[in-house]
Amino acid sequence: MNAENLRALDRRHLWHPYAAASPSVTAHPVTRAKGVRLTLDDGRELIDGMSSWWAAIHGYGHPRLDAAVRDQLGDMAHVMFGGLTHEPAVRLARRLAEMTGLPKVFFADSGSVAVEVAIKMAFQCTGKSRLLTVKGGYHGDTFGAMSVCDPVNGMHHLFTGVLPVHVFADRPPGDYGLRPGTSRDSAEAVPDEGYLRHLEAMVERHAGELAAIIVEPVVQGAGGMRFYHPAYLRRLRELADEHGLLLIADEIATGLGRTGELFGCDHAGVRPDIMCVGKALTGGYLTMAAALCTDEVAERIGVLMHGPTFMANPLAAAVADASLSLLLERPWRDEVKCIEAGLGEGLASAAGAPGVRDVRVLGAIGVIETVDPVEVEKVQGIVMEHGVWLRPFGRLIYTMPPYCAGPGDLAAITEAMNAAVAALRS
């Protein structure tokens, strides 16, 4: 199909995410993805600073992951999971249980569905149907997940009267992570005692009606790319224990090394009762997620009322197990530290620039927060001129590159982000 026909058919038939049916923002055709680079149909190569929405942590076309898919395809692509099982799912479940300390694994189709499953687990386990979370969060686009996303900047206003009404504590102070020119010691400042007391008051006030507390550990992702002190997560764990509540950790964006620890919860040294994982689980190859829980939660639930058709798909399970094996074998912690240092150095010039509210880095996440909302297509045009692919939103120009991104890739990404900031003044 030639490029002109492809674009025309895309505009005619495809509805892209977070866009109108007739979008105003251009969709750029990709013909190849290899390593950390995307090749467009016009021959341009772009460094993918997004890891395909944070999933392709090993880059594209890794030979071990390619082989895992091919080898599994030779046996079976799919088989129903009701009344049947298979080795890829068993291997993957064992590995996840060992990594998380949560022995029961329920596979789902996507991160949003994993959150739905986690919420069902909490409701069935406790017999209660309200949750406590914090403002500024994001947990997915399905109805249960939307109901615990930020009540103002999420999608609540579009579905008023339909979404369940949960309890929202204030947004955590976003004072964690590295700022250009600061050290890790200064990033780990003393937490806000007033906010800790606020959390305590909110939980105590509503404990009798709550099934669980659900949060993204340490990093609030698509709700604003904000980093908060692990002490707040530790206190939520303590409060959950004091009041007989469950703690649900949404590790879909934060898990598998992205924040500099294997899981976001590791920053606080806590284990949740229920954990959701997804995104990077298969290394960006296939859609798959999981909700994990303790034996105690599983025993109290009994029969969990959920069953996706493609649950534990063998192809996805095989490549996920290979991806986790690859992650644990490679020096991912050193790679993420190098990315953190490279992003911190490269984004330093943006701090204090006109139109910039904040610059922050944690692990393999680099964020420039602007004063005003950015023009998505304008920013994308600028960074693409610099050979980089980013997907800004709201007031955020940010990057979450693959762990295999080298110093030259990071320099190109941060140069492109700085160029976008410079354009704010024009």
Q: Which among 126, 100, 129, 144 is positioned nearest to 302, based on CA atoms? A: 126
Instruction: Point out the catalytic residue in the list 109, 150, 250, 321.
Output: 250
**Options 18, 34, 71, 170, the catalytic residue:** 18
Q: Look up 285 and say whether it is catalytic.
A: no
Q: Which two tokens stand for residue 23?
A: 């979008």
CA–CA separation, 168 and 96 (whole Å): 30
Q: Residues comprising the binding site for pyridoxal 5'-phosphate?
A: 111-112, 250, 308-309
DSSP 178: B
Stretch 370-385: mean pLDDT: 95
Interval 43-68 mean pLDDT:
98
Q: Residue 4: its pLDDT value, please?
A: 85
pLDDT at 109 over 80: yes
Q: Is the pLDDT of residue 186 over 70?
A: no
pLDDT at 181: 60
On whether the CB atoms of residues 198 and 170 are closer than 8 A, the answer is yes
Active site residue 279: yes
Q: Which pLDDT score, from 0 to 100, does residue 157 have?
A: 81
Confidence of residue 77 (pLDDT cuts 50, 70, 90): very high
Three-state SS string over 355-394 comes to CEEEEEEECCEEEEEECCCCCHHHHHHHHHHCCEECCCEC
- Whether 397 and 423 have beta carbons less than 8 Å apart is answered as no
CB 226 within 8 A of CB 220: yes
Cβ-based neighbours of 103, under 8 Å, separated by 6 or more: 97, 292, 294, 295
- Report the Cα 128 to chain-centroid distance in Å: 27
Q: What is the mean pLDDT of the chain?
A: 95
In the annotated binding site, the residues are 53, 111-112, 138, 250, 279, 307-309, 391
Under the banding of pLDDT at 50, 70 and 90, the label for residue 190 is: confident
Q: Cβ atoms within 10 A of the Cβ of 410, count?
A: 25
Please report the pLDDT score of residue 212 as a whole number: 98
Burial track 365-401 (b if 16+ CB lie within 10 A, e otherwise):
bbbbbbeeebebeebbebbbebbbbbbbebbbbbbbb
Amino acid at residue number 277: V
Q: For residue 47, what are its two tokens?
A: 């460094």
Query: Catalytic residue at 41?
Result: no
* Options 138, 176, 285, 398, the catalytic residue: 138
Report DSSP letters for 112-144, one per residue.
Answer: HHHHHHHHHHHHHHHS--EEEEETT----SSHH
- Calculate mean pLDDT across residues 79-91: 98
* pLDDT tens track for 1-43: 888 899 889 989 999 998 888 877 789 999 999 999 999 999 9
The string of pLDDT tens digits covering residues 138-156 is 999 999 999 999 998 888 8
What's the confidence (pLDDT) of residue 185?
47
DSSP-derived 3-state class of residue 349: helix
Mean pLDDT of 364-372: 97
CB 311 within 8 A of CB 116: no
Average pLDDT over residues 222-237: 96
Clarify whether 138 is annotated catalytic.
yes
Mean pLDDT of 58-63: 98
For residues 294-316, give the mean pLDDT.
97
Residues in binding site for substrate: 53, 138, 279, 307, 391
Check whether 184 has a pLDDT greater than 80: no
State the DSSP code for 264: G
The answer for residues whose C-beta is within 8 angstroms of residue 106's C-beta and 6 or more apart is: 117, 121, 290, 291, 292, 293, 304, 306
Q: With 70 as the cut, is the pLDDT of residue 315 above it?
A: yes
pLDDT over threshold 60, residue 47: yes
d(CA 215, CA 340): 24
Whether the CA torsion 20, 14, 320, 141 is positive or negative: it is positive
The stretch 106-110 carries a mean pLDDT of 97
Interior angle at CA 264, CA 329 and CA 413, nearest 5: 75
SS3 226: strand
Residue of 410, 419, 400, 41 whose CA lies nearest to 222: 400
The predicted model gives 338-364 an average pLDDT of 96
Is the predicted pLDDT of residue 255 greater than 80, yes or no? yes
- pLDDT range class, residue 82, cuts 50, 70, 90: very high
Q: Strands, DSSP E only, in 28-172?
A: 30-34, 37-40, 45-48, 104-108, 130-134, 167-169
Query: Active-site residue among 60, 279, 321, 398?
Result: 279
